């Protein structure tokens, strides 16, 4: 058979290209293209090589797994090589895998498979000798990896010593180290605030963290590990099936996927794939497919290996969460509190089943750091309900005529000056409610489901009402007339009436919701609810003073008094008293909020200067969990503003009401001081359960720690449940929850 010239050229080009990207990905941790693009290149090469097997060479990227390790870590030879998996991209390919397995085994009936998600992290081999962790190594090229023992030892979910005594003398466990989504988002958010480089995705963050030469840095990274296989084991297998062997690991303190299931036949595989695909976004970590393994170990042995992958396993891949597209422009959006956010306008691209046209760019610093320019080809990442992100620029494909982006110096909506937060990278419009963008966002927030819950008052309608100058503040909503509504675009009489009805219905609310709907910076549902519960009436909330919330301890008052007494009049003439006081090294705790507190409590600055320490001390009448000094200042300042008080007066005049509950005494709040975490799929809306728990005084948080009192676990609860079990936190199912609520 003759080989067309262009095939040889294409194959050579593909190999060069894949090698280059392999190096970027595995060695430098700095991929230039998304995985989906890389997979396409690899598949094209695989197909060509299948068509022309005589062109396969040992050095082809299809014939090896990874790349050589970096310098800096010692090399580790894997006694049992760390293999790769064959991929299936469709049900058809799954069917042919299953058929191949059955044919080879000459099996008439369905094959039993062990199924679990394919974690998107990096493969690690742990070696335990006599129950002690002696070595952790990366996969490297499958035969030789890097010794990352010091770093892996810092991962909480990897035991340094196995539990129990019935483990084999030598046990090599293989699994995936990954960074949960929440930890990844938090890590990037911190980096962004500190003006540092962010990670492209959780996989890169996990790899970067494990490659740290300083284990102290790794220790601060939220890494986790699930085990899914074995290397060397002294004395043979642990059980007769893969799933039973894996399950034994949990008894020894090793983590395995909570999604592990044993299923029958290819139909079982297809069902499992669909179920996991549906739950993909809800899982707490990134997965890029599911893995099926023939469960019986004797059958695995009979099937053996081909090239570097077992014949008894396959990975069925999900649509990629990263894709490439072009950045057409950068728009600037103005948020509820005036924050200006640059937003990428993209050539529409389908990412894991959703068409993406916009992605957040966070802030100007982020754009500079990633060197993003208009006209660039960029990698977009969409994971779950997180807003799509621009991960990086494909510099390789940068055209000559890209444009730099500059943040505007004036608000693009109202023209007001923009101000940069002194200690943050955020830029804000200074227009306040004068700015139509902020006004719109404030009204949308007011009407939203968790706030006043005005059904049918959608974003488009609010935009029109503000643009047409009909509504200036949330209170104006309640004087809307049917004529005004009917005159709007696409508004029939019936829907107009529905909106008026919904507005009427929303008037009956709770104080907590009302406070939340006002959109006070920093006051979320929980704080709003706590304020309502601990004060009971709107009047009491509105007349809060800093002295009710902010503490000056006796010891602090003593130091403060000494500083004030030593402050010379001359210093005060030249500088603001706050600066004079806060410059004093012994008073690190003294902030502008404390200064405002003193101004609130004393009639003049002279009186502050001559006050005794007992006078300076302040015991607030309220100690509200979650309200620190800065938030206290924001709340008090909000209610001091005449225009805010005016809007509230108008709202009360419009007959917004709630039953003015007396302050809930601790007896009526049996869950006061208790922290609860909800996880898994629950049979009622989470919000409903949250409301009930909060009404009884509980704090509902998102992550499990030693301070958590209860974890309510629905079906399919994952890592939060395992963490609770590890920490010995009380876990309740829904029945237990109902009991708790009833008690
Ligand atoms: S089994 C001999 N199970 O996928 C088979 N691998 O493409 C060894 N991976 O290197 C792998 N989740 O890093 C297996 N549940 C899982 C997995 C998994 C992720 C990764 C692993 C492996 C790569 C193969």
pLDDT of residue 1: 62
Residue 157: pLDDT band by 50, 70, 90 thresholds?
confident
pLDDT of residue 671: 84
CA of 318 to the centre of ligand 1 (A): 14
Are both 18 and 156 inside the same structural domain?
A: no
Q: How many domains does the chain have?
A: 6
- 699 - beta bridge partners? 675
Helices (H) and strands (E) in the chain, counts: 30, 24
Which protein residue's CA is at the shortest distance from atom 12 of ligand 1?
118
pLDDT of residue 391: 92
pLDDT of residue 68: 45
Pocket test for ligand 1, best of 85, 142, 294 (most atoms within 8 A of CB): 85
Point out the least confidently predicted range of 105-109, 338-342, 737-741.
Answer: 737-741
Last residue of a domain, one of 662, 685, 716: 662
Last residue of a domain, one of 22, 38, 63: 63
* 406 occurs within a structural domain: no
Are both 183 and 269 inside the same structural domain?
A: yes
pLDDT of residue 7: 92
Q: Give, as one character, the DSSP assignment of residue 407.
A: -
pLDDT of residue 70: 45
Are both 161 and 86 inside the same structural domain?
A: yes
Write the DSSP assignment of 671-715 as a string of letters. Answer: TTT-EEEEESB-SS-HHHHHHHHHHTT-EEESS--TT--EEEE-B
- Spatial separation of the C-alpha atoms in residues 174 and 225, rounded to whole Å: 10
pLDDT at residue 732 is higher than 70: yes
* 221 occurs within a structural domain: yes
Are both 673 and 658 inside the same structural domain?
A: no
Which of ligand 1's atoms lies nearest the C-alpha of 87? 7
Are both 347 and 391 inside the same structural domain?
A: yes
Which of ligand 1's atoms lies nearest the C-alpha of 310? 2
The CATH number that applies at residue 694 is 3.40.50.10190
- 711 - beta bridge partners? 677, 731
- Spatial separation of the C-alpha atoms in residues 543 and 622, rounded to whole Å: 13
* 596 occurs within a structural domain: yes
Write the pLDDT tens digit of every residue in 193-207: 888 889 989 999 999
pLDDT at residue 663 is higher than 50: yes
Write the pLDDT tens digit of every residue in 173-231: 999 999 999 899 999 988 888 888 899 899 999 999 998 888 888 888 989 999 999 99
* 726 occurs within a structural domain: yes
Please, which residues have CB within 8 angstroms of residue 261's CB and are 6 or more apart in sequence? 114, 115, 116, 272
pLDDT of residue 13: 93
pTM: 0.68
Last residue of a domain, one of 397, 426, 446: 397
- Spatial separation of the C-alpha atoms in residues 217 and 220, rounded to whole Å: 5
Are both 167 and 304 inside the same structural domain?
A: yes
Residue 738: pLDDT band by 50, 70, 90 thresholds?
confident
Please, which residues have CB within 8 angstroms of residue 77's CB and are 6 or more apart in sequence? 143, 144
CA of 186 to the centre of ligand 1 (A): 26
Are both 23 and 137 inside the same structural domain?
A: no
The CATH number that applies at residue 34 is 1.10.287.610
CA of 155 to the centre of ligand 1 (A): 20
Ligand 1 and 268: CB distance under 6 A? no
* 405 occurs within a structural domain: no
Ligand 1 and 287: CB distance under 6 A? no
* 404 occurs within a structural domain: no
Are both 474 and 516 inside the same structural domain?
A: yes
- Spatial separation of the C-alpha atoms in residues 85 and 307, rounded to whole Å: 10
Are both 530 and 652 inside the same structural domain?
A: yes
* 70 occurs within a structural domain: no
Question: When comparing pLDDT for 156 and 680, which is higher?
Answer: 680
Ligand 1 and 116: CB distance under 6 A? yes
Are both 200 and 256 inside the same structural domain?
A: yes
Q: What percent of the chain has pLDDT over 90?
A: 56
* 408 occurs within a structural domain: no
Establish whether 118 is a catalytic residue.
Answer: yes
Which of ligand 1's atoms lies nearest the C-alpha of 313? 5
Write the pLDDT tens digit of every residue in 418-451: 888 765 678 889 888 889 999 999 999 999 999 9
Write the DSSP assignment of 100-115 as a string of letters. Answer: HHHHHHT--SPPEEEE
The CATH number that applies at residue 210 is 3.30.470.30
The CATH number that applies at residue 388 is 2.40.50.140
As a dihedral over the C-alpha atoms of residue 703, residue 706, residue 707, residue 713, rounded to 10 degrees, the angle is: 50
CB atoms within 10 A of CB 314: 27
Are both 689 and 672 inside the same structural domain?
A: yes
Ligand 1 and 123: CB distance under 6 A? yes
Residues of the domain holding 253 = 75-317
- Spatial separation of the C-alpha atoms in residues 197 and 181, rounded to whole Å: 18
How far, in Å, are 364, 538, 652, 669, 696 from residue 659 at the CA level? 46, 11, 13, 17, 16
pLDDT of residue 514: 97
CA of 314 to the centre of ligand 1 (A): 9
Are both 161 and 16 inside the same structural domain?
A: no
């Amino acid at each position: 058979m003759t080989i067309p010239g262009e095939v040889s050229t294409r194959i050579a080009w593909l190999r060069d290209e894949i090698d280059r990207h392999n190096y970027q990905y595995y060695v430098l941790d700095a991929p230039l293209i998304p995985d989906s693009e890389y997979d396409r290149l690899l598949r094209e090469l695989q197909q060509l090589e299948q068509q022309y097997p005589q062109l396969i060479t040992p050095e082809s990227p299809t014939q090896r797994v990874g790349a050589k390790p970096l310098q800096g870590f010692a090399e580790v030879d894997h006694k049992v090589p760390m293999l790769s998996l064959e991929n299936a991209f469709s049900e058809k390919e799954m069917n042919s895998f299953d058929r191949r397995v059955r044919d080879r085994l000459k099996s008439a009936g369905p094959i039993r498979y062990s199924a679990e998600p394919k974690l998107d992290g990096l493969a690690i081999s742990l070696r335990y000798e006599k129950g002690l962790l002696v070595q952790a190594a990366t996969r490297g090229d499958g035969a030789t990896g890097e010794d990352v023992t010091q770093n892996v030892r810092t991962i909480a979910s990897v035991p340094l010593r196995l539990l129990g005594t019935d483990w084999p003398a030598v046990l090599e466990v293989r699994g995936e180290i990954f960074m949960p989504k929440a930890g990844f988002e938090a890590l990037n958010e911190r980096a962004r605030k500190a003006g540092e480089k962010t990670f492209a995705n959780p996989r890169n963050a996990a790899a970067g963290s494990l490659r740290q030469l300083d284990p102290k840095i790794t220790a601060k990274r939220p890494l986790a590990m699930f085990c899914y296989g074995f290397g060397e084991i002294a004395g043979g297998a642990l059980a007769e099936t893969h799933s039973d062997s894996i399950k034994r690991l949990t008894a020894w303190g090793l983590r395995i996927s909570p999604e592990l299931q044993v299923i029958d036949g290819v139909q079982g595989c297809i069902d499992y794939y669909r179920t996991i695909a549906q739950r993909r976004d809800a899982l707490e970590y990134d997965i890029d497919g599911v893995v099926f393994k023939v469960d019986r170990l004797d059958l695995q042995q009979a099937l053996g290996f081909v090239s570097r992958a077992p014949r008894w396993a396959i990975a069925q891949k999900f649509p990629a969460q990263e894709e490439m597209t072009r950045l057409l422009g950068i728009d600037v959006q103005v948020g509820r509190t005036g924050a200006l956010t640059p937003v990428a306008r993209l050539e529409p691209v389908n990412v894991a089943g959703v068409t993406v046209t916009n992605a957040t760019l966070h802030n100007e610093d982020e754009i500079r750091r990633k060197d993003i320019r208009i006209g660039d080809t960029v990698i977009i990442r969409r994971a779950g309900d997180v807003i799509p992100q621009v991960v990086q620029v494909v510099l390789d494909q940068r055209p000559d005529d890209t444009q730099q982006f500059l943040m505007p110096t004036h608000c693009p909506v109202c023209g007001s000056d923009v101000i940069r937060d002194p200690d943050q990278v955020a830029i804000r419009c200074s227009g306040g409610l004068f700015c139509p963008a902020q006004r719109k966002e404030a009204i949308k927030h007011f009407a939203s489901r968790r706030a006043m819950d005005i059904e049918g008052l959608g974003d488009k309608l609010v935009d029109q009402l503000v643009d047409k100058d009909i509504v200036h503040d949330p209170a104006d909503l309640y004087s809307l007339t049917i004529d005004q509504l009917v005159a709007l675009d696409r508004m029939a009489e019936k829907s107009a009436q529905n909106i008026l009805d919904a507005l009427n219905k929303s008037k009956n609310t709770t104080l907590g919701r009302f406070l939340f709907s006002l959109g006070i910076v920093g006051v979320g549902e929980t704080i709003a609810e706590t304020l309502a519960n601990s004060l009971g009436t709107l009047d009491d909330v509105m007349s809060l003073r800093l002295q009710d919330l902010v503490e000056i301890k006796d010891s602090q008052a003593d130091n403060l008094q000494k500083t004030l007494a030593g402050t010379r009049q001359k210093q005060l003439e030249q500088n603001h008293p706050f600066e004079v006081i806060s410059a004093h090294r012994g008073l690190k705790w003294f902030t502008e909020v404390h200064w405002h507190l003193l101004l609130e409590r004393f009639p003049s600055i002279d009186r502050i200067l001559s006050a005794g320490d007992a006078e300076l001390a302040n015991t607030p009448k309220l100690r509200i969990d979650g309200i620190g000094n800065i938030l206290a200042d924001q709340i008090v300042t909000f209610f001091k503003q005449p225009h805010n008080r005016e809007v509230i007066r108008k709202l009360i005049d419009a007959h917004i009401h709630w039953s003015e509950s007396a302050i809930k005494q601790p007896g009526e709040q049996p869950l006061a001081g208790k922290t609860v975490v909800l996880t898994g799929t629950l049979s009622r809306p989470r919000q409903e359960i949250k409301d009930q728990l909060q009404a009884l005084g509980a704090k509902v948080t998102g992550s499990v720690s030693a301070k958590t009192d209860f974890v309510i676990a629905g079906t399919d609860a994952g890592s939060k449940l395992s963490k609770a079990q590890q920490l010995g936190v009380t876990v309740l199912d829904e029945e237990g929850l109902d009991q708790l609520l009833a008690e």
